[in-house]
Amino acid sequence: MDISSSLVDWSRAQFALTAMYHWLFVPLTLGLGIIMAIMETIYVRTSKEIWKKITRFWMTLFGVNFAIGIATGIILEFQFGTNWSNYSWFVGDIFGAPLAIEGIMAFFLEAIFSAVMFFGWNKVSRRFHLTSTWMTAIGATLSALWILVANAWMQFPVGMTFNPDTVRNEMTDFFAVLLSPVAINKFLHTVISCWVLGSVFVIGVSCWFLIKKRNIELAIKSIKVASLVGIFSIVGTLVTGDDTAKVVARVQPMKLAAMEGLYDGNTDQSIVAFGILNPDKRYDNNEKEFLFVIRIPYVLSYLAYGDIHSYVAGINDIIKGGYQAQYIDKTHYIMEPMDERIESGKTALASLASYRKAKKEKNDSLMDISGKILQENYKNFGYGYVTDIEQIIPYVPIVFYAFHTMVLLGFYFLLFFIIFICVMGRKKYNGLNNRWLMWIGLLSIPLAYIMSEAGWVTAEVGRQPWTIQDILPTFASISRLSTSNVQTTFWLFLILFTVLLIADIMIITRQIKKEDINDSQSGHDGY
């Protein structure tokens, strides 16, 4: 295809910009949603007015973030049609289904119950209002579900067949798409990690109140709830992260190799606890992988395949092929060499062209032959667009450092929640004497965002160059636009999203600063 690399790079940059800004709002929406629902449940069960005030405070912050998140999400979905029209044509019948369900079901659910949640205080019964709050939180989670199902299908395309007559992929099994191991793991890992961020945010803001010696009761009670949600969530994130690693090892081995900066695989494979990559290392030279590295023996083999002695392939092994690999169902096969996959992909493209020509000429026998060859080689369809082996290797430094940043911060927050549970769980403790801990809580808020963004960078950059794994690369997915148009909209979006982010922060901080529930400044009661 005659597509300039500059257009591809700018199109990717624009989509990455939109996705990363959008992801600043989504985790807080999902995290605050579950926490405020728990707080209101406590209010309904105890009838203590303080819990109503606490719930309404966090609900206000939820509402601001929720509204701006919707605005950025709409722009993100429109970009599939504007900047990635080839992709949308090629797989729109499949990719569009979960997004349509999201709009019909999740947005509908949120629209109905969020109105009652925000404006129904003292107008409906306590239990109906509580139901509305839970349904709003569930609606936001379901919205994430369908988006993550669509994204998971891009990572592991299943439940489809390719129609050479329309040059489109068509869904054949909706439940294969919905319940694929990638979709299940991605949903659980992503949503639970959002609860981590929401918990850190609540703890951080509450710590600010304690530093300022304001709203003591609100702060203490909020920290207790958020710490319990947080410890459950971070453990769940680590467990689902382990399951995700096993899935990635089977369906995206190149991503796993990039996550670990692994070029030459082996059995009994260690994992990198900390490392500095060698910038001169490439797949086709003999330079060392790291300038400095600390490894933990056997761990990568166990994380990938559940066996400390299992073989984990590196980038060079995947390119050379010939080793024994595992399918998602844990059956074994021999990995094809990459040059053979490229040839197979070119055969698939050629047979598609032959099929369409034969159809135009009404040559049924040639159509049958070409169609059969196409189906035999379709699993490597996307490799037919590859002109250089290096195109199929993701940019290792970004994937490696993003992954290890995410993991290190994950263990940091495990310790973070344990400390807050232990310290704030003391009887009659109000946190006013531990200013250092309160500052740690406050300053940890941006770390939670970094961890969340690093996870998405790992997932999305790690699967490059594919928009659909093995089926369609990014440089065959974009719209035929002028590079200057994409550049212009990139800067416009950058300005717009930055303004929205600043507005979000200003409104939230203003609300926090003015909050005063007139609670006792000397102590607090339990719940």
Per-residue pLDDT of the chain in tens (527 residues, 90 and over written 9): 446 678 888 999 999 999 999 999 999 999 999 999 999 999 999 999 999 999 999 999 999 888 888 888 888 888 888 889 889 889 888 988 888 888 787 777 878 888 889 898 888 999 999 999 999 999 989 989 999 999 999 999 999 999 999 999 999 999 999 999 999 999 999 999 999 999 999 999 999 999 998 888 999 999 999 999 999 999 999 999 989 999 999 999 999 999 999 999 999 999 999 999 999 999 888 889 999 999 999 999 999 998 999 999 999 999 999 998 888 888 889 999 999 999 999 999 999 999 999 999 889 899 999 999 999 999 999 999 999 899 999 999 999 999 999 999 999 999 999 999 988 877 666 666 788 999 999 999 999 999 999 999 999 999 989 999 999 999 898 888 888 889 999 999 999 999 989 998 999 999 898 877 764 433 343 33
For 282, left (φ over 0), alpha (ψ -120 to 50), or beta?
Answer: beta
DSSP symbol at 104: I
Strand partners, 296: 271
Q: What is the pTM of this model?
A: 0.91
SS (H, E, C) 369-402: HHHHHHHHHHHHHHHHHCCCHHHHCCCHHHHHHH
Strand partners, 272: 295
User: Which two structure tokens, joined as six digits, stand for 420?
Assistant: 């807050």
Helix (H) or strand (E) holding 466: strand 466-468
Instruction: Name the residue with tokens 């569009």.
Output: 96
Distance CA 134, CA 131 (A): 5
Q: How far is residue 332 from each of residues 262, 273, 521, measured CA to CA in Å? A: 22, 29, 64
Distance CA 169, CA 183 (A): 19
Would you state the torsion angle of the CA atoms of residues 209, 211, 216, 221, taken in this order, to the nearest 10 degrees? Answer: 70
Distance CA 394, CA 252 (A): 11
Distance CA 482, CA 504 (A): 33
455 contacts 406 by C-beta, under 8 angstroms = yes
